Structure 1
Amino acid sequence: MRPNKREELVSKALTVFYQNGFHATGMDRLVAETGISKTSMYKHFRTKDELILAALRLRDERFRNWFMRRVEELAVAPRDRLLAVFDVLGEWINLDEFKGCMFIKASAEFQDRSHPIHVQSTEHKRLVYDYLSGIAAQAGARDPEQLACQLMILKEGAIVSAILNVGCDVVVQSKAAAKALIDQALASPPPTH
């Protein structure tokens, strides 16, 4: 089925925003790079912010579906899936078109925490956190929320470090740190006397 004009616009805008940022991408640039007229854009979206929100929702849907599917393709056991998160992260980081996390960028460009674009970015991260927390609970972590928080910090730090090219293999290092955290979180507590 051929996508409708609105879906086509959102998909093309997503690519342009991801490559160039949100504030740096004006409506004229969107017209030039998507081939969709301003009239058509404004027919579907009253403002650029509405288009950004639609693009972020599409990115969230595509990315989370891909991410979760790949984690589950790589590992069956919950503990192994927690580690596979970092293998999948490495697959993404090593893509030629990798330009960092669109949600980190959006929250940096729209820093007011009540702004709908910031809220949408936060929601994406919360959904990924919930996914990790669920796997941590299945794996038997003593505190699944704490482990999910720690893994999120590692994952997000790896993404930013990959963009900044900090001089180490961020995927290898973040996975090694994740393994240590997972081993600690899943270890049996010492017996009490």
Structure 2
Amino acid sequence: MERAGRQSRVAKLPPRERILDAAEELFAREGIKGVGVQAIADRASTTKMALYRHFATKDVLVEEWLRIVAADYAAVFDRLEAAHPDDPRAQILGAARFIADGLPEISHRGCPFINSIAELPDRGHPARRLIETHKAGQLRRLTGLCLRAGLADPDEAAVEITFLLEGAQVSAQNGSVGQAGERLMRIVEALLDRRAAPRADAP
């Protein structure tokens, strides 16, 4: 049974936000292809005509939903930068911890980016391009942190960290690795230690 809390919260949202909220829930649960516009409108307690006033096509709605998801991930890096402005290592570990803590949910619902790419084989699709742009921006941000942290070959370090973060999410989604979150943290910490530049006073 649906929780009353969600009903009362969603009912107070403007129509556009209600539609996005409904789309997020249905896309995450049933996939992009498995959800029709009418189902989204029904879930948002609105009409298809009203939905199309805010989003010209379903593809536009999918793109806007993923734009919000990408912004949420970028906000994590912003919060970590504000919390640890002079500690890039702490920011990297904070990003890894964010992914690690989210793995239980991903094991049930899957990563929205991974799921969406599987359903959007056309690399020219605007939502697919949005995902690729987001991932490229995240890699650049990690590279900058690795450079500031003084890691050896920061470009390659950022790629390795990206492999770890992405791989942990896939492993959690397919259930192939137990305790994926804690394993992720241990491996990222080991990578940072391995690539840390030696101190000038080290023997």
Q: TM-score, normalised by structure 1?
A: 0.85
Q: Distance in 2 between matches of 1:154 and 1:35?
A: 41
User: Equivalent residues in 2 for 1:7-156 (5 A)?
Assistant: 7-66=17-76, 68-69=78-79, 73=83, 77-95=87-105, 99-156=109-166
Cα distance in 1 for residues equivalent to 2:19 and 2:80: 27
* In structure 2, C-alpha distance between the alignment counterparts of 1:78 and 1:67, rounded to whole Å: 11
Q: Deviations for 1:31-52, whole angstroms, at most 9, x for unmatched residues?
A: 2222221011111222110110
Could you list the structure 1 runs, at least 4 aligned residues long, displaced by more than 4 angstroms after superposition. Answer: 70-76, 95-98
Q: Offset of 1:153 from its aligned partner? A: 0.8
C-alpha distance 144-98 of structure 1, shift in aligned 2 (>3 A): farther
The 2-side partners of 1:73 and 1:91 are apart by 18
Alignment of 1:138-177 (within 5 A): 138-177=148-187
| 1:68 shift after superposition | 4.2
TM-score, normalised to structure 2, is 0.81
| Residues 23 and 40 in structure 2, CA contact (< 8 A), matched pair in contact too | yes
Aligned residues: 188
Contact 1:92 1:98 in 2 (8 A): no
Q: Mind listing any 5+ residue stretches in structure 2 that lack a counterpart? A: 1-11
Q: Which position in structure 2 is the counterpart of 1:184?
A: 194
CA gap of 1:12–1:42, structure 2 versus 1, over 3 A, is same
After the TM superposition, which of the residue ranges 58-67 and 90-99 deviates more from structure 2? Answer: 90-99
CA RMSD of the aligned region, Å? 2.5
State the secondary structure of the residue aligned to 2:151. Answer: coil
**Does 115-124 or 70-79 show the bigger shift?**
70-79
Instruction: Report the Cα offset of residue 29 of structure 1.
Output: 1.7
Query: 1:179 Cα deviation (Å)?
Result: 1.9
Tell me the distance in 2 between the aligned counterparts of 1:91 and 1:20.
Answer: 23
Corresponding position: 1:6 with 2:16: yes
Task: Give 3-state SS (helix, strand or coil) of 1:51's partner.
Answer: helix
| 12-21 or 61-70, which deviates more | 61-70
Per-residue deviation, 1:80: 2.5
Structure 1 111/148 Cα, relative in aligned 2: closer, same or farther at 3 Å?
same
Instruction: Supply the AA of the counterpart residue of 1:169.
Output: Q
| C-alpha distance after superposition, 1:142-178 (max 9, x if no partner) | 3222111111111011111111112421111122221
- Structure 1's unaligned 5+ residue stretches are none
> Residue 11 of structure 1 contacts residue 58 of structure 1 at CA under 8 Å; is this kept in 2?
no
Residues 129 and 149 in structure 1, CA contact (< 8 A), matched pair in contact too: yes
SS where residue 188 of structure 1 aligns? Answer: coil
Matched residue type, 2:38: D
